[in-house]
């Protein structure tokens, strides 16, 4: 084909041609419109069952008159607040438009296209695969153990001198499995010297004892570990897109050099600052999830369903009835849960923890559906 016959679509990067986009869970508005339902309960996207802090809502309303102003680059007030909150130096933090932005920055800064590789577990968060493909970096996926635990020895046997990044989610999604901090520290120390371990801790605040599972207190010993955290889950700010990475100062400096200067908007930063101060709402959210997780686990097990032990704000469930039928029947009763075909787990479903009332109604709906298959 000569140049005169070419079209702009012929110039598309080859790695994009077969790239499948991220598939989010269906929205409440979408289901209401499609099925004509008045009330819909969403238990599919791991959102905070209590919503957002009332103090945060007031802050957003109060700051709305400043939305014509640019935010300060790199969110210095929020990084200072995070440093105080977690007792770490401010230069260890990079704040992003959700932790997804930090994932993208890490890949673009540390992994050389066509030369380096990234290692992840399978199944895992699809953004790792999407961003690796977008950046032209090869990806190696290590299957999880049959019980959803992490096969660290198998992973270490497959990394090499060109491994730039290892991503894992802890607690993991969709299982809720959580590795202990000591195992993560050992993994980091046994990686090739040029590899960085990225531990995605989006759900760590919902663990019974977060300090047991997070290597946060050991970061001073490790120069090759990044922790990712988010305001979307515990703090209920999913719609404002706010997350952050905790990393060595040398790496945060590099990310700040290439990060878009205004990716975190003014209202998101203000909301994050207030969210860190509302300890009452944080504690109430944690208690609601931990109690709801216990009750849902017990009630669904009483139906004869398999419930995988979770340290997150969701549970992985294998019902005795067909998973796709359960999803369909629950949808028509006004409950949205997450099917797991994209994770290769077609017999399982993921259920986010709701409020006490939502959980009770959900179990009643599941019991009625179960009885219809008897």
Tell me which architecture the domain covering 54-278 has in CATH.
Answer: 3-Layer(aba) Sandwich (3.40)
Cα separation, 36 vs 26, whole angstroms: 15
Tell me which architecture the domain covering 25-51+280-372 has in CATH.
Answer: Alpha-Beta Complex (3.90)
Among 2-16, 92-106, 172-186, 275-289, name the one with the lowest average pLDDT. 2-16
How would residue 2 be classed by pLDDT, with cut points 50, 70 and 90? low
Cβ contacts of 109 within 8 Å, gap of 6 or more = 251, 254, 255, 258
Classify the C-alpha dihedral 147-148-152-154 as positive or negative: positive
Q: What token pair was written down for 146?
A: 């049959």
pLDDT tens track for 318-373 = 999 999 999 999 999 999 999 999 899 999 999 999 999 999 999 999 999 999 87
Task: State mean pLDDT over 170-193.
Answer: 97
Residues of CATH 3.40.640.10 domain(s) within the chain? 54-278
How confident is the prediction for the chain on average, in pLDDT? 94
Burial 305-320 (b: 16+ CB within 10 A, else e): bebbebbbbbbbbebe
Task: State mean pLDDT over 57-61.
Answer: 97
Does position 212 have pLDDT exceeding 90, yes or no? yes
pTM, two decimals, is 0.92
- The residues with which 226 forms a beta bridge, in sequence order, are 198
The confidence score (pLDDT) of residue 11 equals: 67
How would residue 3 be classed by pLDDT, with cut points 50, 70 and 90? low
CA distances from 119 to 116, 147, 315 (A): 10, 20, 25
User: How far from the centroid of its chain's Cα atoms is residue 1's Cα?
Assistant: 44
pLDDT tens track for 86-136 = 999 999 999 999 999 999 999 999 999 999 999 999 999 889 999 999 899
pLDDT tens track for 227-255 = 999 999 999 999 999 999 999 999 999 99
The confidence score (pLDDT) of residue 8 equals: 73
Residues of CATH 3.90.1150.10 domain(s) within the chain? 25-51+280-372
SS3 call for 157: helix
Cis peptide before 307 (omega within 30 of 0): no
Residue 26 has what DSSP assignment?
Answer: P
């Amino acid at each position: 084909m000569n140049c005169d016959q070419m079209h702009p679509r012929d110039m598309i990067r080859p790695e994009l041609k077969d790239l499948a986009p991220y598939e989010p869970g269906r929205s409440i508005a979408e289901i209401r419109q499609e099925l004509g339902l008045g009330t819909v309960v969403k238990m599919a996207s791991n959102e905070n069952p209590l919503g957002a802090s009332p103090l945060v809502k007031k802050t957003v309303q109060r700051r709305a008159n400043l939305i014509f102003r640019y935010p300060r680059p790199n969110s210095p007030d929020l990084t200072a607040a995070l440093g105080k909150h977690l007792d770490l130096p401010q230069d260890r933090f990079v704040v992003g438009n959700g932790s997804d932005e930090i994932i993208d920055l890490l890949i673009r800064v540390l992994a050389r296209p066509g030369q380096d590789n990234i290692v992840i577990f399978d199944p895992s968060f699809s953004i790792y695969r999407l961003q690796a493909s977008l950046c032209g970096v090869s990806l190696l996926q290590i299957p999880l153990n049959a019980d959803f635990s992490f096969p660290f020895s198998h992973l270490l046997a497959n990394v090499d001198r060109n491994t730039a990044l290892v991503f894992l989610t802890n607690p993991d999604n969709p299982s809720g499995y959580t590795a202990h901090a000591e195992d993560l520290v050992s993994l980091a120390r046994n990686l090739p010297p040029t590899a960085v371990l990225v531990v995605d801790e989006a759900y760590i605040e919902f663990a019974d004892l977060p300090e047991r599972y997070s290597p946060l207190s050991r970061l001073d010993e490790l120069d090759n570990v990044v922790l990712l955290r988010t305001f979307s889950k515990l703090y209920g700010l999913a719609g404002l897109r706010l997350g952050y990475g905790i990393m060595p100062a040398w790496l945060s400096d590099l990310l700040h050099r290439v990060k878009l200067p205004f990716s975190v908007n003014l209202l998101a930063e203000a909301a994050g600052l207030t969210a860190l101060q509302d300890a009452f709402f944080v504690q109430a959210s944690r208690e609601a999830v931990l109690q709801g997780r216990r009750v849902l686990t017990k009630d669904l097990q009483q139906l004869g369903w398999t419930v995988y032990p979770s340290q997150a704000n969701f549970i992985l469930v294998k019902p005795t009835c067909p998973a796709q039928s359960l999803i369909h029947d629950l949808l028509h009763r006004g409950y949205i849960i997450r099917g797991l075909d994209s994770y290769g787990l077609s017999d399982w479903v993921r259920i986010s923890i709701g409020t006490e009332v939502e959980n009770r109604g959900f179990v009643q709906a599941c019991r009625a559906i179960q009885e219809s298959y008897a």
